[in-house]
A and B are shown apart, each in its own frame.
Chain A
Amino acid sequence: MSSLVRTQATRLLNALDAELFKVSHRRMTAILLISLAALVLVFYVLLWLRIDSGPGTRRGSYFAWLEAKAAMSFLHVIPYSLALERFFATLVCVIFAGSMMGNEYDWRTVGVVAARGVHRWHFLFAKLFTSTLFTAVAVAAGFLIGMAASAWWTHVYVLDYGTIDARWLQDAFEGWARTTFVVLPYVYLAVLCATVFRSAGQAVGAALGVYFIESIFTGILTGAEGWPRHIPAFLLNFNGESLMRANGSVTATGGAGPFIFGSGDAPALRAALVLVAWMAGILVLVFWRFQRRDIQE
């Protein structure tokens, strides 16, 4: 029995090793990470331009200007930078996961691997593990870029750095983990779509379609009356936003900061449980579909 477990574990590690080999040799991995970093930087530049242009004279513009300064300061880097991460990392990680799985079908390499006696679940587990790892790395990389940009402008504008201590580090770590967790359902959804459609393009399109359309759907239903208004509380986006609130807020009134929209207000634990349920459902479907379906037709 132990030898069987050891054999399976070795083979699983082999599949992981192979997957990491593919990802590390793929230019797209670096391109996606660089794109994410660039997008975060661009947003901080936009924020800087907003501050640099002054508060303006329109009604309420002064408070918006102050809010922008608050968002840029290192004091609020955890809620603001991670809120940006949530949006951009979802895009980047969905593209990564959808193409990683879908390309195996496009290139028909999934058949080559399966025909060599690699357990299908080993192959899929390696894909999901790598996607999770990439998501964690992408969120961390974007967060670090956000921190660097925020630190620079905090220095330039002599803003508040806050107190950087063990507690801050813990908050930063928890914020990173929370953001990664919120992004993951869409990443797994992309893998599911790739397994269903057997195509990278369709997988990415479908997963991103769900991401954007769900936001619109949530916005519409939130304003509805009766039972339909409760539907968003069971969707990914609403619960993702709810969980992201636990990262803190930029303004004293609980605002998420400039360019950040969101209306989720469910308790964090409940939101996390809904997301866990979604992820579990998606993973069960992925494994079932991949295990049962013909690799090629």
Chain B
Amino acid sequence: MERVGADQEIQQDAHPRPAARPIRSPAYLKRPASSLLPPLSSLLPVPHPFRPLSPAPFTVDSRASFAKERQLDSVVEARGLTKRYGAVTAIRGVDLSVPRGTVFGALGPNGSGKSTTVRMILGLGRPDAGTVSLFGQPLSHHGPDLLRRIGSLVETPAFVPYLSGRDNLRLLEKYTPGAGPAGIDNALHRVHLGQAADRTFKTYSLGMKQRLGIAAAILHDPELVILDEPTNGLDPQGTREVRELIPELAAEGRTIILCSHLLHEVEQVCDAVAILQAGRVVAQGTTASLLGETGELRVRLPEAAEAEAAFATSPWAGRVRREGDELAIAGAGQEGREINRFLAAEGLYAAEIRSVRPSLEDVFFELTGAESQDV
């Protein structure tokens, strides 16, 4: 736990957050997931106003450093975003950086401020404090021009109910021309709505509405696509199709922001993640960085007690815990080779060595302290 150091690429919000409640861990983890995770105090703080992360080498994931990427080319850069609705502060001091070409997940329980943040990014609401830059330019100065480069689906799909799916896309095409009839057909077929395209929107099922929302978001070939809960109301087949569509869109060179409370979905498709809790970003970084170094190594061997004693004078001292004939070494998920060598040098031979990585769900619950039903 203590080992996670300066190269850890998780940002922690500078504002204090509520203390984490005991978390629900998967059964295979014999101890609380909190012990798998780095203490939040050890994470790189990102004070407000925004300060770029250290471009330290990234050791867990082969992808380019998140920090380096964001310094080079951020599609969305939010700094200190704050939004109040009367006495309620929906988001407070949100710093967000979305590197170009990534699939970026915004995770958080209901009411954590995901949709409010997205609305600020899309210019639908004015922040009480803070700024938003899109494609390197301030939204407040170049709003409409910048927004034309974005496709979005915010919350539930909104369309004119008396128009057909196709006519709704025609309508949007009139506002922002470019796609043409062929583009409309293409968008409809891409979300498998070709056959229902001429039915009125009000007769659509929730899943069909959601698909039309996605078609509208990609209609004008945007550079950035923001999808807020895109799989809401979709059946498993539809969910799978959307999950497959997102990497496809990213492969076409688009940046994707995916707001979801479906942790598994985000873990599967997102390169980078921001976790929001009570209107604050509590962690932000690549998915790998959030998961990778927090893993532990499990070593099973008959001489577990002897091995535990040997570890007391090793570089892993203080991170080893014995559970029967098994040792759990925190934060050593990627160090199986070194540990195996160390044990052999001590004359101990492991029967089994395995790396146990926490899921995004574990990380999420640790950072937000949320119960699963809230997510």
Q: A297 on the interface (CB 8 Å rule)?
A: yes
Interface-located stretch among B12-20, B73-81, B148-156, B306-314: B148-156
B154 neighbours in A (Cβ, 8 Å): 111, 115
CB distance from B263 to the nearest CB of A (A): 26
Q: Among B124, B143, B177, which residue has its beta carbon within 8 angstroms of that of A14?
A: B177
Docked CA distance A20–B52 (Å): 48
Chain A CB within 8 A of B352 CB? no
Question: Which of B126, B147, B171 is within 8 Å of A117, CB to CB?
Answer: B147
Q: Give the residues from 103 to 130 in chain A that come closer than 8 angstroms, CB to CB, to chain B.
A: 107-109, 111-119
- Which chain B residues lie closer than 8 Å to A41 at the CB level? none
Verify if A18 is at the interface (C-beta below 8 Å from B).
yes
Nearest A residue to B145 via CB reads A117
Which listed residue (B119, B156, B171) contacts A22, Cβ 8 A? Answer: B171
**Chain A residues near B167 (CB-CB < 8 A):** 25
B315 CB to nearest A CB, Å = 52
Evaluate whether A21 and B170 lie within 8 angstroms (CB atoms) in the complex, with A107-B161, A109-B160, A112-B216 already known: yes
Q: Across the interface, name the chain B residue whose C-beta is closest to A115.
A: B122
Q: Which listed residue (A15, A22, A294) contacts B160, Cβ 8 A? A: A22
B125 within 8 A of A: yes
Q: Which residues of B contact A118 (CB under 8 A)?
A: 144, 175-176
Is the beta-carbon distance between A117 and B150 smaller than 8 angstroms?
yes
Report if B123 contacts A (CB, 8 A). Answer: yes
Question: Which of A15, A22, A112, A114 has its CB near the most chain B CB atoms (within 10 A)?
Answer: A112
- Asked if A112 and B162 sit within 8 Å, CB to CB, the answer is no
Q: Is the CB of A112 within 8 A of B125?
A: no
Cβ contact within 8 Å between A111 and B158: yes
Q: What interface size band does chain A fall in?
A: 20 to 34
Q: Tell me, yes or no, whether A295 is within 8 Å of chain B by CB.
A: yes
Q: CB-CB contacts of B65-76 with A at 8 A, as 1s and 0s?
A: 000000000000
Classify chain B's interface size: 35 or more
Q: Are B176 and A296 touching (Cβ within 8 A)?
A: no
Interface membership of B172, Cβ < 8 A: yes
Name the residue on A nearest B149 (C-beta): A117
B161:A296 contact, CB within 8 angstroms: no
Contact of A113 among B145, B150, B163, B175 (CB under 8 A): B175
C-alpha gap A125/B321 in the complex (Å): 69
Q: Digit string of A10-28 for contact with B (CB within 8 Å is 1, else 0)?
A: 0000110110011001110
Complex contacts, A297 vs chain B, CB 8 Å: 85, 125
* Interchain Cβ contacts within 8 Å, total number: 85
- B162 near A26: Cβ-Cβ < 8 Å: yes
Check A115–B174 contact: CB distance below 8 A: no
Quote the shortest CB–CB distance from B160 to chain A (angstroms). 6
CA–CA, A222 and B249, complex, Å: 68
Chain A residue nearest to B118 (CB atoms) is A115
Q: Interface readout for A156-189 with B: 1 if CB under 8 Å, 0 if not?
A: 0000000000000000000000000000000000
Q: How far is the CA of A126 from the CA of B167 in the complex (A)?
A: 19
**Distance between B117 CB and nearest chain A CB, rounded to angstroms:** 13
Chain B 302-348 residues near chain A, CB threshold 8 A? none
- Which one of A14, A27, A294 lies within 8 Å of B162 (CB-CB)? A27
Is there an interface contact between A108 and B170, defined as CB atoms closer than 8 Å? no
Q: Which residues on the B side are within 8 Å of A27 (C-beta)?
A: 162
Cα–Cα, bound, A90→B184 (Å):
39
**For residue A295, which residues in chain B have a CB less than 8 angstroms away from its CB?**
119, 124-125
Give every chain A residue within 8 A of B151 (Cβ-Cβ): 116
Taken residue by residue from 124 to 147, chain B's Cβ proximity to chain A (1 for < 8 Å, 0 otherwise) reads as 111000000000000000011111
Which of B126, B147, B159 contacts A115, CB < 8 Å?
B147
In the complex, A292 Cα to B147 Cα: how many Å?
A: 17
Tell me, yes or no, whether B280 is within 8 Å of chain A by CB: no
Distance, CA A268 to CA B216, complexed state (A): 51
Instruction: Given A25-B162, A25-B163, A109-B158, verify A294-B171 contact (CB < 8 Å).
Output: no
- Cα(A22)–Cα(B159), bound, Å: 11
Interface residues of B (CB under 8 A from A): 85, 119, 122-126, 143-152, 154, 156, 158-163, 167, 170-172, 174-177, 216, 220
Contacts A/B (CB < 8 Å), 25 sampled: A14-B174, A14-B176, A17-B174, A18-B171, A21-B171, A25-B163, A25-B167, A26-B162, A107-B159, A111-B124, A112-B216, A114-B122, A114-B123, A114-B124, A115-B150, A115-B152, A116-B220, A117-B149, A117-B176, A292-B126, A295-B119, A295-B124, A295-B125, A296-B125, A297-B125
